[in-house]
Each structure stands twice: as C-alpha cells, then as structure tokens.
Chain A
C-alpha cells in the first residue's frame, strides 16, 4: 500500500455518481409508473376508450428514469468509461459524484410524488374526461423540480472536465 495513488479512486467515485443517478432516478420512476399503472389499469377496465388519455398520465413519472440515464451516460462519456482515457483525479471524481446527486435524489423523490399526483389525475380524468388538460398539468408541476435537478446535474457534469484539478 506504499505507493497507493489516491487519484486512482477518482474514476470509481465518478462511476458511483453515474450509477447513483441511474439507480435512484430509475427506482423512483419504476415505483411511480407502477403506481400510475395500477390506477390506469383500473380506469381502462371500466372504460377501454380512455386508454390514450390515461397512457400519457401513466408515463409522466417515467421521465425521471430517463433523466437519470441521461446524467449517468453523460458522466460515463466524460470520465472515459465509454472509451477514451480514464484520467480522472480524486477531486474530479468527487465532483462528478456530487454533480450526480441532485438528479439521483430529486429523481427518486419527485418520481414517487409525481406518481401520487398522476394517480389523482387519472381518477380525475376517469370521472371528467373533458378536464384532461388540467389533469395533465398537475403532475407536470412536480416534474419541474426533476427538470431543475437535471439541469444542475447536467451543467455540472458537462463542465467539470474543464476544471483543472
């Protein structure tokens, strides 16, 4: 252990960040779409013609998983795991990890919360199909925060490479 180079941990930390983004946002979306899926299936049993409308609401909490994937992929590309040099310093690794966290945590929580709003919207649409526009906006409000987290993670991940540490 004498010639242990702490910088060799950099890429591991960065990968941990990427994995967390995909993992937690993905878990959130899986839970979320599961919840809305149950509600949607219930509505479709009663009224199969509602499938189109319900499908949109059903998919709303699924976007967090995509955002997580996006951050994870961007991180992988930037740290050279998908080809290129794997030259990431310890500090940079920590930075990547930190950059991924907004998407990871906000993705997990917002997907679950958005699913709750979407389930409520699905029952709204089941009772009043003409109110689809409003029903769609309610869960989309929750998604705003996932988009903001995505934005911060995205900007951070894209720019860490240019910091010389």
Chain B
C-alpha cells in the first residue's frame, strides 16, 4: 500500500552494446528514461526525428492495408473480444519479423494500391451512372444527339422547361410561328418541368423556327452524345461493367492476403516498438564510443537489472536516491484488495510529494459507499457473477481492464451485503412474483431495516458514515503531517477540527430538540453534551488563533483565524452531501419496484407471465445500468471532493517506463 520508492539510475556502456541494451530495457519495462545534462563538448544527442517519421509512415501504410483487409474480410471476433487482451507471442518471432519486414511492407503497399483502385473505380462508376441518368430522357431518339439537320432540313433536339404533349407543342408552334409549315414534332419524353423533343422543319425556315423555339425556352442539351443515346448508354454500361470487374478482381486479390493479417499486425507492433526505441535513442547522450542512459527505476527492480546489465552487457550502472527537489514519477503498489481502485485514484491525480498512497483506506470506503448506493442483492449478484466470470475466463486480460472488473467485483459483493441488510432483491421482485403468480404472501425480511419505511433512520446513518469518512480523511492528513514532523500543523489543522466538529455533534446529540426533530432513538446525557460543547469551543478557539499563523500582523492573523472558522460551513455541507447515500439507495429500490409492478399489471396467466418477464428483464437491465452509473459517479464524487478535500492534493506524474507499447501482440519473455 504504498508509493514505491524510486531510484535514479545511470547506465554507462559501450556503443556497440547500445542496441542490445535498449532492447533489454524495453523488454524489462522498468526504467523511465529521462535525459539528464551532459558535457556537450564530449557527448551529443542524435536526431532521430527523420527515422521516426519514416517508421510512422510505414505504420500508416500497414494500418491502411489492414483496414482494407478488415473491411473485405472482417476478422472473426467473439462477443468478448475486448476482454481477451493482446495475444502473447514469443520473442523468437521478433527476429522472424525483422527478416520479413520489407516484404510485408511491399505487400501492404500493393494492397493499398489495389484498394485505391477500387475506390477510384467506384468514383468513376458513380460519374458514369450520372451520365446514364442524364441520357435517360433521350432514349427514344435513334440518331445522334448532335444532329442539326441535313442539306434541306433543320433539326432541333433539345428541351423545354415545361410539360407538353405532342399535340400541345405542335399547336404552340403553329400558333407562334404560323409562317413556318411542314414542322415535324416528336416528343421524346416528358417529365416534371421538362419536355425533350425532336423538331424538324425545312432548312429555309430553320432560323425563324429556332428564334421562336428559343422564345418559349428551348435549350440544347448540356452534353449531347455523338452517338444515338441508346448506343451511348450501352457503351457506358459496358464501361461500368468493366470497372466493376476490375474492382472485383482487386478485392479478390486483397482477399488472398487474408493469411497475412497476423504479419501485418505484428509488423505494426514492430514499428510501434521501434518508434518507441528511437524516441529513447534521441534522448541518449553519446560520445564516440560510449553512451549514457539516465532515468528512474523502482528501487525493488533495480538490483536485478543492475546485475543483468553489468554481467551480461559490460555496462556500468549507477544507482542513487533522488533528492527532494526532483520531479520523480510515482508508481503505486497495493495488494489485491486496494489495487483495483488505483485507476480511480489515477483519474484524480497521483499522490504529490509528502503524500501517502491513499488506495487502501479509499478502497474500504469505495466498496462500502458504492454498495450502499446500489444496495440491491440481485443487482450485486449480477455484478459479482458477471465480473467473476470475465475474470475467471479471460486470464490474459489487459491489466487496466482487469483492475476495473475487480473493483466492480468488490463493489458487487458490498452491494449484495447492503441488499441483504435492506431486504432488497431486484426491488420487491420476490413479493410481487409470489403474490401475482402463486397467490402467496412472501417477503424477504430485511436483515436490518427497510429504507423506504424508515428513511430518516437511513439518513442519520448516512450522515454517520459521512462523518466517519471525513474524519478518516482528516486522520490521514494528521498522519501525513506527523510523518514529516510537522506536529504543530497536525494539531492546529486536524485536531482543532476534530474537536470542533466532533464536539459539536456530541452536543447536538444531547439536545432534546434535535433528538425530536430526527426521531433519534437515544439521547446523550447533558453532562456529555456539555463536554462536547466545551471541546467544540476549544476547537473553535484553536482555529481562530492558529488558522492565520502564517501572517505576521496580529490583526490579519485574527481575521484569517475567523475566516478559518468559517470553514465549519464546508464541514456542514460535506456531511449533508452524504444524504446522496439515502437518495440513490432509495432510487434503486423504488424504481426496481416500479418495474416489478408494471410487469405484474396483467396478473396471472400465460400473457401475464410473458409481460412480466419482458418488463423484468428490460426494466431491471435499465435500472441496473442507470444506478451503477449513478453509484459510480457519486462514489467518485464523495471520494474526490469530501474525502480527498481533507488531505489529498496530488500532482506528481505517473511512472511511464520505456516499454513496448504494442497494439496487437504482447511479447513474452524468452524464458
């Protein structure tokens, strides 16, 4: 349960061992590289940016090829693929991949070329289809669309922006151009706001007719085809077919590379590792024959690595404790009970300097509070079974996911506990089922009490939990201050609040008025109440006198002290904030009951059973989802705001060792 002690490590070795040492460090994954300072007249850093850019380029090529392959031949994935984690692979594959990298890259480029051809062809097909659509109104025409006439005739092929029948068009022409005779009109097609027509007249009258036609909106087609439209369409269609065949051929060829998927993925990982390595390489200080690696290593991993490096790689390793001013990274180590909440802690912040790792104490409260908010044995059981199954079945799961599932497993156990205490199993499912379908009157008795019947009791209990939680936070602050010898601060900042808040609560519990208000089952004797009041008074005085101790001027100190006392309002709101334990706990139970009752509305009988099952499954799934979300968010809030507010600021960064950040495979040790 602690923040792991870190050591600064310096590795000095000959350049001809550089590659091997870097690869070893990457596989061990215990050193965070941090380039220190070095004498620039002897040591230089290499610029690895161009090499990294090249690797990234290769990665992109491979990624694109993989995507194309995935689209055509989707990978067979099970429903739980996300839980399975990366496939472990032996180190020996590394050398194999190195040998075939250029070949795999060539294949990937080829796949990309083919895939691009498919895309281009699809775009071309779309263009051709548009052309065909534009020709559709002219299909009746059996001559070239560009015909303008013969020696003795004038021909007009074009469209009008209106709907005409052949007769109407003829009549219109006869009316508008009466001196042109012998006009032949053939309407090719009519559509909304468009009439395509073929019009023929004697060449002598051509000009006159054209003038009139233009006056009623005649236009020539935008892209007249040279050949008759039908022929043209046939030609276009044959081109589409050809393009389609090309696409199919290219796709079929891509499909043949199905077996190469693994190689592609592995090569992507290979480049990811190299990018990582070159990143480190760029940070190294190198002279003509020697190179230096500096960084941080957890103290417990240091001896093993040191031995390995000095014996196997002729390196000199220097280990020293980092001083206080350094920005050392943080690595947490906890037992199986507390480790799962590390992720939650991390999402807030890693512990700062002088701060302890609060995972263990946080874990206790986390599971407890989560269970109280969800508080249904049925839901808890589902969580336990679901998480337990996943954890047992998928041993190879990624560590982050494993931690989350473990956290929800523990939360589920706590939920079952509270469900039993409050007598809730899928809400009042047992009662409703027994009553509706068996005519029996069964209730699961609550081991403690039923919150809906006695909300006030649960509210008081919630406040009690809140006070314990907040006091535990203050206790951690006391420990943190005392640990570094700041006893005075510990007394002024923690003990004073214990006295004030604790004394105040004791005093409140001895007041008849308060006891009546919240229907308290007991009343503290007046003497205890007075003692509480005195303690609170001492606490308040202590705060007034010491909260402003950093200021020199006595007036300022007093004012700051009074302002410090005002902080009591934040304690009040912090404690009231725990009323959400009641609100969310009741919400789960009551909504579950709503769904049960909705299901039971049709009473007994086959239809009733089906409706009940439907309402039960859908309703409880929904309720479980929403309330797990609510419990998760609000437990986090109570931890982050009310609890951490008392002692935890955080601020350091997480230990980020130099390791192989691969996407598809996990490289296992050769041993």
Residue ranges of A at the interface with B (Cβ–Cβ < 8 Å): 56, 59-60, 62-63, 66-67, 69-70, 73-74, 82, 130-134, 136-137, 140-141, 143-144, 147-148, 150-151, 154-155, 158
Are B629 and A59 in contact (CB-based, < 8 A)? yes
Name the segment of B184-192, B375-383, B451-459, B602-610 touching the other chain: B451-459
Q: Does B580 contact A (CB under 8 A)?
A: yes
Are A136 and B591 in contact (CB-based, < 8 A)? no
A133 and B636 in contact, given A144-B577, A148-B579, A154-B583 (Cβ under 8 angstroms)? yes
Q: Which residue from B455, B597, B626, B637 sits with its C-beta under 8 Å from A63?
A: B626
| Distance in angstroms between the alpha carbons of A143 and B348 in the assembled complex | 19
Q: Does B570 contact A (CB under 8 A)?
A: no
Q: Does B634 contact A (CB under 8 A)?
A: yes
- Provide the residues of chain A in CB contact with B576, threshold 8 Å: 148
A66 and B636 in contact, given A134-B348, A151-B583, A154-B583 (Cβ under 8 angstroms)? no
Are A66 and B580 in contact (CB-based, < 8 A)? no
Are A60 and B633 in contact (CB-based, < 8 A)? yes
Q: Does B584 contact A (CB under 8 A)?
A: yes
- Provide the residues of chain B in CB contact with A62, threshold 8 Å: 626
**Least CB distance, A149 to chain B, in whole angstroms:** 9
B452-477 at interface with A (beta carbon < 8 Å): 452, 455-456, 459
Are B586 and A70 in contact (CB-based, < 8 A)? yes
Residue ranges of B at the interface with A (Cβ–Cβ < 8 Å): 344, 346-348, 452, 455-456, 459, 576-577, 579-580, 582-584, 586-587, 590-591, 594, 597, 626, 629-630, 632-634, 636-637, 640-641
- Provide the residues of chain B in CB contact with A66, threshold 8 Å: 587, 591, 626
- Provide the residues of chain A in CB contact with B591, threshold 8 Å: 66, 69-70, 73
Are A158 and B455 in contact (CB-based, < 8 A)? yes
A140 and B348 in contact, given A69-B591, A155-B455 (Cβ under 8 angstroms)? no
| Distance in angstroms between the alpha carbons of A148 and B348 in the assembled complex | 25
Are B640 and A137 in contact (CB-based, < 8 A)? yes
Are B577 and A82 in contact (CB-based, < 8 A)? no
| Distance in angstroms between the alpha carbons of A59 and B597 in the assembled complex | 25
- Provide the residues of chain A in CB contact with B583, threshold 8 Å: 67, 147, 150-151, 154
The residue in A82, A132, A134, A144 that gathers the most chain B C-beta atoms within 10 A of its C-beta is A144
Are A67 and B633 in contact (CB-based, < 8 A)? no
A69 and B626 in contact, given A132-B347, A133-B344, A137-B641 (Cβ under 8 angstroms)? no
| Distance in angstroms between the alpha carbons of A141 and B580 in the assembled complex | 12
23 contacts between A and B (CB under 8 A): A59-B626, A59-B629, A62-B626, A66-B587, A69-B591, A70-B591, A82-B597, A130-B347, A133-B344, A133-B347, A133-B640, A134-B348, A137-B636, A140-B633, A141-B641, A143-B633, A147-B579, A147-B583, A148-B579, A150-B583, A151-B459, A155-B455, A158-B455
Are A155 and B459 in contact (CB-based, < 8 A)? yes
Are A136 and B586 in contact (CB-based, < 8 A)? no
| Distance in angstroms between the alpha carbons of A69 and B586 in the assembled complex | 12
- Provide the residues of chain B in CB contact with A134, threshold 8 Å: 347-348
Are A158 and B577 in contact (CB-based, < 8 A)? no
| Distance in angstroms between the alpha carbons of A83 and B296 in the assembled complex | 69
| Distance in angstroms between the alpha carbons of A151 and B455 in the assembled complex | 10
